[in-house]
């Protein structure tokens, strides 16, 4: 039979198994079965102390010089990796001998007069004084350490967690200190960075100065003070390092493989990486390793592992450990950067799809909230919007596209843009939903969404609502009564071939309309109608806190509504839009019809003057008469039906002139010889704001003036 070679080593008798982290062991001198080891006071393992073998269930520990009873027994084994699996060496056991606690490898020994161990002693642990930490002497120790370290690194999901995992996994088990440099900025995916390669010191870590003796660490008084060079890593090293093309650092990074600091290439590269004072922290001998961090496409940084001068130096096999740590860390950083870019794109997409700020239309106050389904995926198909309309009206929209993914967010953005365009045409709510349904069918056969579109008129104190399969809105009255509005449900957008119906309801001053998506009222723990009833009760209870004569603050009301969500109620995105109806009092509105004749501008000036006198705004008379005259003149020149003139007194003075001509006026620069063309120029110069909106029956030209 041919003997097959094996990589296993022979077990060392009397050696305590490796510490769970795989790097630390305590050695002892083996003894024979006929010699009695001296007893160390306190149960410690001194020189020549033999550790007792663990007794199995049903067995009696044997004492030196005696023979174990005969009977069935299991083969002795070595858990360090030699012999059969789950085995440990058979050694003589001493009664009442306390098994010492393993000491971490990273603890520096007390300086003494011991001779430095040879290579064989470092690997086997024989010949070292008792209680002194030894390096990872077996391949199994290194494998266990690398496995535990890579698992810790892999637990990180973002850049900081991965870098911290690398530092915490290596210090103090593998090294006394570590420095991690990363490219600034980090390249993302396949993009090619422009400009020079710059490395920034991302994180440093080292053994703390004080240790807990109970946890196996030495107390502060039991060890030498920490060397200055390790206690001030960040102060002695450069924060930024520009990698010179063709330089020593560039050559080491291009080689990818870790190198010892005493290698010729590393001796020239480390000063370039660490700075002028960086050499102070590099111990002599093989006590520093420079490991490039290479991702999927390119080198993205470097890591420097350091050991104190009094520590045992790194071995050649430790370069393989450093290479494994560097590879896993670099790949994790690459994935974290890609994940961060995707999360950034998703957040930007969602942010641009939703309104950054809500408008401040006349006669209504608005507040909104949006909550994603999960923090890790902040995109979804829920949206809300508030669109100012002609005549001081405002359109309130809330919708929900099926799903909460990037595709849902993109479809939501298209539907929201379509709704804004349709609202600008001043179409009735049911017509807006009809066109949204057609747009959804053009986007795809499975593009489904629900939507609720409402138009509030602060002058008439009325609201017109059309629904497309969306949960009904809730109206909170001033007295504290909350009611679910009876609105025809309709079919969702995207079904096709379905007519939508609009209803007109009263919107009294002081009332609050709440529009929301189904994520607020529906979850795995409750159905939608149970959630709507809970929402109604929550609104009524919140209104009772402020009394019957004062509505609750709008922002606080939105927060209270979201507080009704329990831990298991976040199954979907949530969009919330609250509108407080203040309205415009009839005494603050002046409205007239003017026949399209030459005398209309003069009559418009007289009517405006009387209204301003009644409101106590005589200081605006000259400006209002001039601007009203110019706008009415342009209207009656082309109109075939009566022209409307309306003045609204709110925080500003607003004037609206409507006619039946759909063409919008445009501002132009009149020449010196032109007899006309200066009306809108005057409006643009004197008015606070002005604009023109096309209606289904014509257009409205409006302007605003400050009251003071």
pLDDT tens digits, 241-260: 888 888 888 888 888 899 99
**414 has a pLDDT exceeding 80:** yes
* pLDDT at res. 138: 62
* pLDDT at res. 53: 39
Same domain, 424 and 313: no
**Which range of residues forms the domain containing residue 186?**
139-206+233-344
Same domain, 616 and 504: no
* pLDDT at res. 186: 82
**599 has a pLDDT exceeding 60:** yes
Same domain, 359 and 314: no
Calculate mean pLDDT across residues 431-441: 93
**604 has a pLDDT exceeding 80:** yes
Calculate mean pLDDT across residues 503-508: 94
Q: Which residue has the higher pLDDT, 3 or 549?
A: 549
Q: Which residue is associated with the tokens 């003796």?
A: 213
Q: Which helix (H) or strand (E) holds 653?
A: strand 652-659
Which range (60-74, 156-170, 571-585, 669-683) has the least confidence? 60-74
Same domain, 288 and 146: yes
Paired strand residues for 396: 386, 454
Domain harbouring 153, CATH code: 3.30.450.40
Q: Which helix (H) or strand (E) holds 629?
A: helix 621-638
* pLDDT at res. 211: 44
pLDDT in tens, 329-347: 999 998 888 888 887 887 7
> Would 492 be classed as within a structural domain?
yes
* pLDDT at res. 189: 67
pLDDT in tens, 285-302: 788 899 999 888 788 899
Q: How far apart are CA 48 and CA 94, in angstroms?
A: 12
Same domain, 362 and 326: no
Domain harbouring 549, CATH code: 3.60.40.10
* pLDDT at res. 590: 94
**159-170 vs 316-353: helix axis angle to the nearest 10?**
160
> Would 511 be classed as within a structural domain?
yes
pLDDT in tens, 487-505: 998 899 988 878 899 999 9
Same domain, 507 and 626: no
Same domain, 544 and 679: no
Work out the pLDDT band at 136, boundaries 50, 70, 90: low
Calculate mean pLDDT across residues 31-41: 41
Same domain, 569 and 593: no
* pLDDT at res. 79: 31
Which range (220-234, 261-275, 647-661) has the least confidence? 220-234
Work out the pLDDT band at 676, boundaries 50, 70, 90: low
Domain boundary residue among 512, 546, 581?
581
Q: What is the average pLDDT value for the chain, to the nearest integer?
A: 77
CB 156, CB 164: distance < 8 Å: yes
CB 640, CB 596: distance < 8 Å: yes
Please provide the size of the chain in residues: 708
pLDDT in tens, 148-201: 888 988 888 888 899 999 999 898 889 888 999 998 888 876 666 667 888 888
| DSSP at 67 | -
Same domain, 615 and 526: no
Same domain, 190 and 305: yes
Same domain, 404 and 446: yes
Same domain, 601 and 575: no
CB 18, CB 24: distance < 8 Å: yes
CB 128, CB 121: distance < 8 Å: yes
| pTM listed for this prediction | 0.63
* pLDDT at res. 250: 87
pLDDT in tens, 51-68: 333 334 344 444 344 444
| Strand pairing category for 502-506 and 462-468 | antiparallel
> Would 8 be classed as within a structural domain?
no
> Would 281 be classed as within a structural domain?
yes
Is the four-CA dihedral 161, 166, 170, 172 of positive or negative sign? negative
Q: Which residue has the higher pLDDT, 278 or 205?
A: 205
Share of the chain above pLDDT 90, in %: 34
């Amino acid at each position: 039979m041919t003997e097959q070679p094996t990589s296993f080593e022979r077990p060392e008798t009397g050696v305590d198994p490796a510490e769970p982290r795989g790097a630390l062991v305590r050695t002892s001198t083996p003894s024979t079965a006929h010699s009695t080891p001296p007893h160390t006071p306190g149960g410690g393992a001194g020189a020549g102390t033999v550790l007792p073998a663990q007794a199995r269930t049903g067995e009696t520990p044997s004492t030196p010089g005696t023979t174990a009873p005969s009977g069935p027994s299991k083969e002795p084994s070595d858990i360090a990796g030699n012999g059969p699996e789950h085995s440990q060496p058979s050694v003589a056991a001493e009664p009442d001998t306390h098994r010492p606690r393993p000491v971490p490898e990273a603890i520096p020994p007390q300086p003494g007069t011991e001779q430095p161990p040879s290579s064989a002693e470092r690997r086997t642990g024989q010949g070292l004084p008792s209680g002194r930490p030894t390096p990872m002497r077996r391949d199994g120790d290194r494998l266990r350490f690398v496995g535990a370290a890579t698992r810790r690194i892999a637990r990180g999901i973002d850049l900081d967690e991965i870098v911290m995992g690398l530092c915490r996994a290596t210090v103090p088990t593998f090294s006394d200190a570590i420095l991690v440099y990363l490219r600034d900025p980090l390249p993302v995916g396949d993009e090619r960075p422009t400009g020079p390669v710059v490395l920034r010191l991302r994180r440093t870590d080292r053994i703390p100065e004080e240790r807990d003796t109970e946890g196996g660490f030495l107390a502060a008084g039991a060890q030498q003070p920490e060397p200055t060079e390790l206690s001030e890593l960040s102060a002695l090293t450069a924060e930024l390092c520009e990698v010179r093309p063709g330089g020593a650092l560039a050559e080491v990074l291009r080689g990818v493989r870790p190198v010892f600091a005493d290698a010729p290439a590393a001796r020239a590269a480390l000063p370039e990486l660490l700075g002028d004072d960086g050499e102070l922290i590099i111990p002599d001998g093989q006590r520093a390793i420079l490991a490039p961090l290479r991702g999927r496409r390119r080198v993205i940084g470097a890591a420097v592992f350091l050991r104190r001068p009094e520590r045992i130096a790194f071995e050649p096999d430790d370069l393989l450990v450093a290479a494994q740590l560097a590879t896993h860390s670099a790949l994790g950083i690459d994935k974290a950067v890609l994940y961060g870019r995707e999360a950034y794109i998703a957040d930007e997409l969602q942010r641009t799809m939703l309104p950054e700020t809500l408008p401040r239309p006349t006669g209504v106050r608005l507040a909104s909230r949006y909550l994603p389904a999960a923090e890790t995926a902040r995109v979804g198909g829920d949206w809300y919007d508030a669109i100012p309309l002609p005549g001081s009206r405002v359109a309130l929209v809330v919708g929900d596209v099926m799903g909460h993914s990037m595709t849902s967010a993109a479809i939501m953005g298209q539907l929201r843009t379509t709704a804004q365009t349709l609202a600008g045409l001043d179409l009735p709510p049911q017509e807006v939903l009809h066109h949204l349904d057609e747009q959804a069918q053009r986007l795809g056969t499975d593009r489904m969404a629900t939507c609720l579109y409402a138009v509030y008129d602060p002058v008439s104190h009325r609201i017109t609502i059309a629904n497309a399969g969306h949960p009904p809105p809730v109206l909170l009255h001033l007295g504290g009564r909350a009611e679910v509005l009876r609105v025809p449900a309709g079919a969702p957008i995207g079904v096709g071939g379905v007519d939508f119906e609009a209803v007109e309801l009263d919107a009294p001053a002081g009332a609050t309309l709440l529009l929301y998506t189904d994520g607020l009222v529906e979850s795995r723990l409750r159905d939608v109608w149970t959630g709507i009833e809970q929402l109604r009760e929550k609104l009524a209870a919140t209104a009772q806190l402020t009394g019957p004569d004062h509505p609750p603050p709008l922002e606080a009301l939105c927060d209270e509504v979201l507080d009704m969500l329990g831990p298991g109620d976040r199954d979907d995105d949530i969009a919330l839009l609250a509108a407080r109806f203040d309205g415009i009092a009839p005494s603050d509105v002046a409205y007239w019809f003017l026949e399209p004749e030459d005398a209309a501008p003069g009559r418009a000036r007289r009517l405006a003057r009387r209204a301003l006198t009644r409101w106590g705004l005589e200081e605006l008379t000259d400006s209002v008469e001039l601007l009203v005259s110019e706008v009415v003149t342009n209207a009656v020149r082309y109109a075939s039906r009566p022209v409307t003139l309306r003045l609204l007194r709110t925080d500003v003075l607003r004037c609206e002139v409507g006619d039946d001509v759909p063409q919008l006026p445009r501002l132009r620069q009149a020449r010196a010889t032109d007899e006309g063309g200066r009306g809108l120029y005057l409006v643009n110069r004197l008015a606070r704001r002005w604009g023109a909106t096309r209606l289904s029956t014509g257009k409205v030209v409006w302007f605003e003036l400050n009251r003071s």
